[in-house]
Chain A
Amino acid sequence: DAGVTQSPTHLIKTRGQQVTLRCSPKSGHDTVSWYQQALGQGPQFIFQYYEEEERQRGNFPDRFSGHQFPNYSSELNVNALLLGDSALYLCASSLEQVAGVTETQYFGPGTRLLVL
């Protein structure tokens, strides 16, 4: 039973560039959430995708955008990269069993992004 997978594992970009990170949810899951974890801090919620729509967003600027595909996989895009975007980006998946009910999220290993 495949868990949550993310690619790439590591990435180096320069300021001003754009980056796309990818996530495949755990088998059978239909919901994907993205988190940013700066060094020494807990993960911070970016947004969640369900039925190919963003349905909840954390306190992140519009430079952070996402997409969910019909097969439930997801992408996180960050434009105009800043040095402060350097972090571990985590994807978590869950299964929506009853509308509106929060479900347990399972995390992938993350993508470590370094912005120079």
Chain B
Amino acid sequence: DAKTTQPPSMDCAEGRAANLPCNHSTISGNEYVYWYRQIHSQGPQYIIHGLKNNETNEMASLIITEDRKSSTLILPHATLRDTAVYYCIVRPSRNDYKLSFGAGTTVTVRA
């Protein structure tokens, strides 16, 4: 049972920032927000995760609202290779080892 809500699809222009929203209004204090993406017919690729604070790595930035009920994944300079399905997943920090994937957001980067 997915605990997140994401738009089914979005487009963005190559070279521009892509901002992917995710609502997780029922998140509890010990649950992390994880982002994965899946390029067509490949295995999901881990992007980033966070608990409360904003996080950044070489792939993306994760902005979590202060009430933790929503977050945004930012791809700073989208390329055609970023076209994929992006999954936002809420996951307990302990003793529940599964990842529960929803339908995700299909992101299409256009030249």
Question: Residues on A close to B: CB < 8 A?
Answer: 4, 31, 33, 35, 41-45, 48, 55-56, 58, 88, 90, 92, 100-102, 104-110, 112
Please choose the segment from B13-21, B39-47, B58-66 that sits at the chain A interface, where 4 or more of its residues have CB less than 8 A away: B39-47
Chain B's nearest CB lies how many Å from the CB of A64?
14
Sorted from nearest, which 5 A-B pairs have the closest CB atoms? A42-B101, A107-B43, A45-B98, A107-B44, A48-B97
Q: Across the interface, which residues of A come within 8 angstroms of B98, CB to CB?
A: 33, 45, 48, 56, 58
Give the most central of A48, A107, A109: most B CB within 10 Å: A107
Q: Across the interface, which residues of B come within 8 angstroms of A105, CB to CB?
A: 46, 99
Q: Offer 26 A-B interface pairs, CB within 8 angstroms, sorted by A.
A: A33-B97, A33-B98, A33-B99, A42-B101, A42-B103, A43-B99, A43-B101, A45-B99, A45-B100, A48-B97, A55-B97, A56-B98, A58-B98, A88-B41, A92-B99, A100-B94, A102-B32, A102-B95, A102-B96, A102-B97, A105-B99, A107-B43, A107-B45, A108-B43, A110-B42, A110-B43
Give the number of residue pairs across the A-B interface with Cβ within 8 Å: 62
Q: Across the interface, which residues of A come within 8 angstroms of B42, CB to CB?
A: 109-110
B12-69: which residues lie under 8 A (CB-CB) from chain A? 32, 34, 36, 41-46, 49
Chain B's nearest CB lies how many Å from the CB of A6?
8
Q: Across the interface, which residues of A come within 8 angstroms of B87, CB to CB?
A: 42
Main secondary structure, interface of A, reads strand
Q: Across the interface, which residues of A come within 8 angstroms of B36, CB to CB?
A: 107
Complex CA gap A35/B8 in Å reads 22
Chain A's nearest CB lies how many Å from the CB of B21?
18
Give the most central of A31, A33, A102, A107: most B CB within 10 Å: A102
Digit string of B68-111 for contact with A (CB within 8 Å is 1, else 0)?
A: 00000000000000000001000111111111111110000000
